[in-house]
């Protein structure tokens, strides 16, 4: 008597819903493009609004303030709403406020529109990670989140330079109109391919304080703020940092190298996030510490800068996936609220990196950056290392599911 071995086939339910996840990635892309588009067009925007480039730069500040101030209250207020309804609301916000920005000839109205766009982004960022996780089985959550987050490095490495070129070529107002048109298409995409989910019932609503006190949440947020602060000190002032190596005129290529390395980092993270999340975080931070250390002694060498930027991008690419996965796992039912905290902490670190880097540049010069980056990254590593019981636990993340 012989037995036949029937090969196992993947169930259609095991396939990642790529169309829906890419719609989420496109939402992240729109968030980043809307945020950063004015940065490369400040002279043109200033001329169009009859203000100085410095005042035009406050359109970026207004956007950041919108994200910081609105992410948590909007997330708390919409906990009971159906999830796709909230996502569509956030995306419609981009259509409305980018269109107002394109039409406005009044500086104050433009600032209000930029604040509104930032508020829409704050709500969107609080939704994306939790939404991606709900679209798939628990075993697929890490890979799904990596796909949903891929819009960010693409926007930073390719979209932002392209948007700046487009704005210079056809005018900044038309660039914002194009953004609005792309966002309208995104609404159709989301309605067609992104499934809907119910919001939380009244008794399931998660108070802010309760989520913040959940074991592991504060540890993950501690890593977020120190890691992102270290990153943004260097990233924001990349031009003065690479100037001693004679690379000031190569900033666009340096940033492209960083972006491409970050994309590779996202792919690597998608392979490791589920079964080795803790190890991935610790290795990424350890390499970042080493790169910063090498920068302290080799920042005048173009080869050191190029190799270091590539390693930095590789370790940073998966940061959003790793940290949001760890935060969502720790928060459990409070995922959306915890992720709204992440929006605030992440954007605060961006602002803080700009402020800290500016002080360092004025006081000790760009050569001081690697020392501070190394110290902050080391603190981040120690926080993650100590969060072994909650936040960054060893082993496969699904092995802790019953504890959440």
pLDDT single digits (tens) 315-333: 998 898 899 999 988 988 8
Per-residue pLDDT, 53? 80
Per-residue pLDDT, 183? 97
What pTM did the predictor assign?
0.81
pLDDT single digits (tens) 224-273: 999 999 998 998 788 889 999 999 888 778 888 888 898 899 889 988 98
Per-residue pLDDT, 398? 72
> Which top CATH class is 208-395?
mainly alpha
pLDDT single digits (tens) 117-147: 999 999 999 899 889 989 998 888 888 888 9
* Low-confidence spans in the chain with pLDDT less than 50: 1-13, 401-404
Contact 282, 334 (CB under 8 A): no
Cα–Cα distance list, 121 to 12, 52, 184 (Å): 33, 26, 16
Q: Which two tokens stand for residue 384?
A: 């993650």
> What is the 3 state secondary structure string of 148-205?
HCCHHHHHHHHHHHHHHHHHHHHCHHHHHHHHHHHHHHHHHHHHHHCCCCCCCCHHHC
Instruction: Determine whether 177 is exposed, middle or buried from the number of CB atoms within 10 Å of its CB (0-12, 13-18, 19+).
Output: middle
Return all residues near 265 (Cβ < 8 A) that are at least 6 apart: 313, 314, 315, 316, 317, 318
Return the exposure string of 339-371: e unless at least 16 CB atoms fall within 10 Å of the residue's CB, then b: bbbbbbbbbbbbbbbbebbeebbeeeebbbbbe
Q: Which two tokens stand for residue 117?
A: 């766009």
Q: Which two tokens stand for residue 360?
A: 């360092």
Q: Which of 258, 46, 39 is nearest to 163 (CA)?
A: 39
What kind and span of H or E run contains 327? Answer: helix 319-331
Q: Where in the chain is the domain with CATH 1.20.1250.20?
A: 16-202, 208-395
Per-residue pLDDT, 204? 62
What would be the CATH architecture of the domain defined by 16-202?
Up-down Bundle (1.20)
């Amino acid at each position: 008597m012989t037995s036949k071995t029937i090969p196992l086939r993947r169930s259609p339910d095991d396939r990642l819903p790529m169309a829906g996840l890419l719609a989420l990635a496109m939402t992240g892309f729109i968030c980043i493009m809307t945020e950063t588009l004015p940065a490369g067009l400040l002279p043109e925007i200033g001329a169009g609004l009859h203000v100085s480039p410095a005042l035009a730069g406050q359109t970026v500040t207004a956007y950041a303030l919108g994200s910081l101030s609105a992410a948590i209250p909007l997330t708390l207020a919409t906990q009971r709403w159906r999830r796709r309804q909230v996502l569509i609301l956030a995306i419609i916000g981009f259509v409305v406020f980018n269109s107002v920005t394109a039409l406005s000839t009044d500086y104050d109205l433009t600032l209000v529109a930029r604040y509104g766009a930032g508020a829409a982004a704050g709500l969107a960022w609080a939704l994306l990670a939790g939404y991606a996780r709900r679209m798939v089985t628990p075993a697929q959550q890490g890979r799904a989140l990596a796909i949903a987050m891929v819009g960010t490095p693409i926007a930073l490495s390719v979209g932002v330079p392209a948007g700046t070129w487009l704005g210079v070529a056809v005018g900044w107002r038309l660039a914002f109109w194009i953004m609005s048109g792309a966002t309208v298409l995104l609404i159709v995409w989301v309605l067609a391919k992104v499934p809907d989910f119910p919001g939380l019932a009244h008794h399931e609503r998660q108070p802010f304080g309760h989520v913040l006190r959940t074991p592991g949440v504060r540890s993950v947020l501690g890593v977020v703020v120190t890691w992102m602060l270290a990153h943004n000190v260097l990233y924001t002032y990349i031009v003065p940092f690479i100037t001693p190596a004679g690379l000031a005129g190569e900033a666009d290529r340096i940033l492209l190298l960083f972006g491409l390395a970050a994309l590779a980092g996202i792919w690597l993270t998608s392979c490791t996030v589920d079964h080795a999340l803790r190890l991935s975080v610790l290795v990424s931070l350890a390499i970042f510490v080493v790169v910063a250390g090498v920068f302290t002694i080799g920042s005048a060498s173009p080869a050191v800068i190029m190799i270091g930027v590539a390693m930095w991008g590789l370790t940073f690419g998966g940061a959003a996936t790793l940290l949001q996965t760890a935060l969502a796992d720790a928060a459990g039912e409070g995922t959306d609220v915890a992720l709204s905290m992440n929006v605030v902490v992440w954007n605060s670190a961006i602002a803080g990196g700009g402020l800290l880097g500016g002080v360092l540049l004025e006081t000790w010069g760009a050569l001081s950056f690697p020392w501070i980056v190394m110290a902050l990254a080391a603190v981040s590593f120690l926080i993650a290392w100590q969060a072994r019981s909650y936040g960054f636990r060893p082993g496969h993340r699904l092995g802790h599911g019953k504890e959440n």
